[in-house]
Amino acid sequence: MSEKGEVDLTGAKQNTGVWLVKVPKYLAQQWAKATGRGEVGKLRICKKGNLGKAEVSFTLNEELTVIEGIEDKTVSAPREHPFTMQTVGGQTLAVFTENSSDKIALEGVVVQRAECRPAVSESYMRLKRLQIEESSKPVRLSQQLQSPVTNNYKPVANHTYNLEYDRRKKEEGKRARADKQQVLDMLFSAFEKHQYYNIKDLVDITKQPVLFLRRIYLKEILRDIGIYNVKGTHKNTWELKPEYRHYQGEEKTDE
Amino acid sequence: MATRNHSPGGPMFTVDYINKRDNDVGYVYYPEAEKPTTMTSLGSSTSSGTEYTVRVPKNTSKKYNIMAFNSGDKVNCSAWTQARMERDMSARRIYGEEESQDGAAGSEFGKKQREEARRKKYGIVTREFKVEDQPWILKVNGKAGKRFKGQKKGGVTENASYYIFTQCPDGAFEAFPVHGWYNFTPLAKHRTLTAEEAEEEWGRRNKVVNHFSIMLQRRFREQERGPDDEDEGEKSGKKKKKGGGRGGDLRIHDLEEDLEMSSDDSDSSMGDDGESKAKAKKDKGKGKGKKKKKKGGEHEALEDSDDGDYEGLEVDYMSDESSSDEEPEKGQPSKAEEHPKGIDEASESEEESEEEKPNEEETKEEEEEEEGKKTPVQAEKKKKKDSSGESESSDDSDIEGETASALFMKKRTPPKRGGGRGSAGSSRTGSRPGTPSIDSAATSNTLRAAASKLEQGKRPTPGPGTDSPAAKRLKMEPSSQSPAPSGKSTPQPPSGKSTPSSSDVQLTEEAVRRYLIRKPMTTKDLLKKFQTKRTGLSSEQTVNVLAQILKRLNPERKNVNDKMHFYLTE
């Protein structure tokens, strides 16, 4: 357990300061399209602004300004984005990372919060308009079918189903009764896997014919080696007699 | 010679190297930690701004998350020496389904499919258990340090993205998207009450004088709970416990009662009782209601005293301040019918008829109720009394013969007992006066009382031991006792008689002889000693074997309170 939960505290110890910046969705999307080393733009920090405070502004790279909307409408995203700086307040915000191998590391502490706002411009308005159009489209759409659906005639009995049924009947022919030992073997191996079985499932497993006659046969065999219990769960299930059982967690003798 | 170097940088800064020998002062001037990057063009137009490149790395394997602490917690990450963080998977068992292993006993063929089909039919939609959304548990500075729980904050990445900007050594910024936001809150290291317990204590706040004892008792309960859980078959016929358990853990109501009342289902009733007792730890028993109802119904006709008797009765399990008086009796009558019947028949004794036994119980209960009325209405006192009252047959036998864990069941009525079992009325009345001294802290008294009771065996002691209201003293004693009789087999030190009650108590002649030598017992009590869960025998077998043993032992009989008791003299 040494490695798994251990948090790498180097970032905290060095008191690495990071910025937490809230970025609009479209900008994040554009950033995801960045190529090469991932450069997306430039950040400019001015010490002396209008108010004597630091002014931070982000300029998006030229090639990333193209936003493609639906139906091939392309809009140009604004390039200038001033940042609004905010204080962290009393809150302590730390940043931790999780590796693909589940290693956790503390990267640092947030020292500055900022919001990235687009500079209001013509291009921004167009972008917003595009977004509104896209989002106002209804999710569901009614469409008129060109041609009526013609391939669902209702058969009396499905042709394929019929074939399958016939095949099954043939396959399940009357098994010879002499197979008793085989059936027993099959039953035991089945009971090795699960303790309780439904009669239907047993019939299925042993491939005994479902006919009344045969089921009685199977039932006889079952009565020999198993017991029938109304378990309290609504199904009536069969299980092996105690002396035949050998389950883990049950100290029973072997058959 | 001094050399002057001018860096080829932009107009914004100059670098001057001046040899010290010149006695000049040299400045090295770097604006804002800015360094030339490969991609930046220095020389922005504004006067004092600097430009940095922003990069968004493409394929990082690391996911960035925010760990938010409250300002009031004054968390200083740099002060941490060591930290461990893991996902809190405790919700998994709520969501996950129990899987019986294939091939294991009890598995069914096709069970999973059937379960799934059933869920679909009823429209049960279970939310998936997503590991990603589980809270974090952060432990700082090892075992003695702080613990935090970090819950994921939803909606963070829906409309806007958060990015973490870190500055690289080369001056550029790198932006990483924030994957999740977790709010970390400190976890209390001290023990707290659960919601149900808190509710209950709240209801008693006006009556409880010593609030410090609340957590004390809770700690005792937890200690007991440890060993107790293992041996289920708590014989202590304390319905109280069961009622008490309703406060804390699972509540078994109707089904249990139905089972108990059904004459043929003694096993399950015993089993259920056992379980509920094992779970039941609350001594401030709540919820006895239903038992009471039944009992009231049965014995209405016989009682002389009337309405006032049922004043304290609880009808609903949620009622607080309920006296636990009637509970145990209810259990007893129902049991009484089945077991003594069997034993008596088997042993061909022409002793009491079966009616006697229920009647016995009824009279007992009547007395109980009356006494309950008489005693001042103090929740605990009443409870104690009643518990003491009813417990006679159950408690006594339980305490004496039973496992030490049974000993720890709360509500062991303190002192009073004195009386051996059986003599319900006499011992009760005798001991009643002794009880009123119990105060609120006295629930832990019961431990002590139980201990002293064991010590004294049958001697009627008005329980001096319980008059030690000081929580401290209680703490000392029970805690000293509790480790000792932990688990199943260690008997109470003072008592010489406690059986090595373990979960597999054997129904032997020797055991029965021991019980009977100690004090007179009814068949019912004997049966209680050898609960099916412990001996591994079915109830029929138990009855048969016990009958045979009794035949062999041929104990002496005496009628106490119209109840036939067996006893042996050495």
Contact A86, A114 (CB under 8 A): yes
Give dist(CA B143, CA B556) in Å, integer. Answer: 61
In this prediction, residue B362 carries a pLDDT of: 45
* Tens-place pLDDT, residues A63-118: 777 777 666 777 788 888 888 888 888 888 999 998 888 889 898 999 989 998 88
Measured between alpha carbons, how far is residue B31 from residues A46, B15, B25, B98, B366 in Å?
11, 11, 19, 64, 94
B265-289 burial string, b = 16+ CB within 10 Å, else e?
Answer: bbbbbbbbbbbbbbbbbbbbbbbbb
Which pLDDT value is given to residue B164?
Answer: 92
Q: What is the mean pLDDT of residues B435-464?
A: 50
- Higher pLDDT: B412 or A175? It is A175
B471/chain A closest Cα distance in angstroms: 41
Say if residues B271 and B256 touch (Cβ distance below 8 Å).
Answer: no
Number of structural domains (chain A) is 2
Determine if residue A61 is left, alpha or beta; phi over 0 gives left, psi from -120 to 50 gives alpha, anything else beta: beta
pLDDT at B261: 46
Angle at the Cα of B372 (from B322 to B368), degrees rounded to 5?
Answer: 110
State the pLDDT confidence band at B185, using cuts at 50, 70 and 90: very high
Q: What's residue A3's pLDDT?
A: 54
Does residue A102 sit in the same domain as residue A36?
Answer: yes
- Answer whether residue A140 shows pLDDT above 70: yes
Kindly state the average pLDDT of the residues B15-25.
Answer: 47
What was the pLDDT predicted at B338?
46
Cβ within 8 Å, pair A44-B46: yes
What does the pLDDT read at residue A209? 55
Asked if pLDDT for residue B26 goes beyond 80, the answer is: no
Instruction: Identify any residues that bridge with B184 across adjacent strands, giving them in sequence order.
Output: B69, B150
pLDDT of residue B527: 83
Name the pLDDT band for A234 (thresholds 50, 70, 90).
low
Distance CA B263, CA B417 (A): 31
Q: Which helix or strand (DSSP H or E) is residue B185 part of?
A: strand B173-186
Instruction: Give the closest of B67, B84, B105 to A247, CB-based.
Output: B105
Q: What percent of chain B has pLDDT over 70?
A: 39
Q: Is residue A197 situated within a structural domain? A: yes
Show which of A98, A133, A168 is a domain's final residue.
Answer: A133
Taking the CB of residue A163, how many other CB atoms lie within 10 A of it? 10
Q: How sure is the predictor about A154, in pLDDT bands with cuts at 50, 70 and 90?
A: confident
Question: Is residue A237 in some structural domain?
Answer: yes
Query: Collapsing DSSP states into helix, strand and coil, what is residue A43?
Result: strand
Which residues are within 8 A (CB) of B431 and not within 5 positions of it... i.e. 6 or more apart? B388, B415, B416, B417, B418, B419, B460, B462, B463
Judge: A99–B49 Cβ closer than 8 Å, yes or no: no
Mutate to test the interface with A, among B54, B65, B86 (most CBs of A within 10 A): B54
Q: Given this model, what pLDDT does residue B257 score?
A: 46
Q: Kindly indicate the confidence band of residue A231, based on its pLDDT and cuts at 50, 70 and 90.
A: low
- pLDDT of B455 reads 61
Helix H, strand E, coil C: the string for A211-242 is: CHHHHHHHHHHHHHHEEEEECCCCCEEEEECH
- A95 and A24 part of one domain: yes
Cβ distance of B162 and A46 shorter than 8 Å: no
Number of CB pairs, chain A paired with chain B, less than 8 A apart? 210
Instruction: Give the tens place of pLDDT for each residue, A11-51.
Output: 888 888 899 999 988 888 888 887 777 788 888 888 765 66
- Which of these three, A100, A133, A166, is where a domain ends? A133
Residue A168: inside a domain, yes or no? no
- Could you give the angle at the alpha carbon of B277 between the alpha carbons of B272 and B279, nearest 5°? 100
Contact B534, B503 (CB under 8 A): yes
Across the interface, do B54 and A99 touch by the CB < 8 Å criterion?
A: no
Instruction: Clarify whether residues A97 and A192 are in a common domain.
Output: no
pLDDT at res. B64:
92
Give chain B positions within 8 Å (CB) of A40.
54-56, 175
In angstroms, the Cα distances linking B313 to A37, A40, B290 are 78, 76, 10
The answer to whether residues A13 and A103 belong to one domain is yes
pLDDT value at residue A10: 85
Binning pLDDT at 50, 70 and 90, where does residue B109 land? low
DSSP state for residue B28 in the 8-state scheme: B
In a domain, A31, yes or no: yes
Q: Do B54 and A13 touch (CB under 8 A)?
A: no
Q: Compute the distance between CA of residue B123 and CA of residue A236 in angstroms, rounded to an integer.
A: 25
- Chosen from A31, A84, A194 to mutate, greatest number of chain B CBs within 10 A: A194
| Structure token digits, residue B258 | 């139905």
| A142 domain-assigned | no
The verdict on residue A138 lying in a domain is no
Q: What is the mean pLDDT of chain A?
A: 77
User: What's residue B353's pLDDT?
Assistant: 46
The reply to whether A53 falls in a domain is: yes
Q: Can you tell me the mean pLDDT for B61-81?
A: 87
* Strands A74-76 vs A104-116: parallel, antiparallel or unpaired: unpaired
Closest CA to B159 of A24, A86, A160: A24
Beta bridge partners of A45: A56, B50
Q: Which domain holds residue A32?
A: 7-133
pLDDT at site B68 = 92
In this predicted structure, the answer to whether residue B184 has a pLDDT above a threshold of 90 is yes
The phi and psi torsions of A46 (rounded to 5 degrees) equal: -110, 135
Question: Do A207 and A113 fall into the same domain?
Answer: no
**CATH number for A234:** 1.10.10.10
Amino acid in position B278: A
Report which secondary-structure segment, H or E, holds B273: helix B266-279
**B53:A42 CB<8 A:** yes
User: Which of B149-163, B309-323, B491-505 has the least mean pLDDT?
Assistant: B491-505
Residue B67, pLDDT > 70, answer yes
Instruction: Answer yes or no: is A169 within a domain.
Output: no
Taking only the tens place, the pLDDT of each residue in B460-469 is 444 444 444 4
Touching A: B residues 22-41, CB under 8 Å: 32, 39-40
A15 & A78 share domain: yes
Percent of all residues in chain A with a pLDDT value above 90, rounded to a whole number: 6
* Structural domain ending residue among the three candidates A133, A154, A188: A133
Q: Are residues A112 and A191 in the same domain?
A: no
Interhelix angle for B539-553 vs B509-518, to 10°?
70
Does the pLDDT of residue B241 top 60, yes or no? no
- The string of pLDDT tens digits covering residues B266-295 is 444 444 444 444 344 444 434 443 444 444
Most confident of B46-60, B69-83, B247-261: B69-83
Facing A20 at nearest CB: one of B54, B83, B162: B162
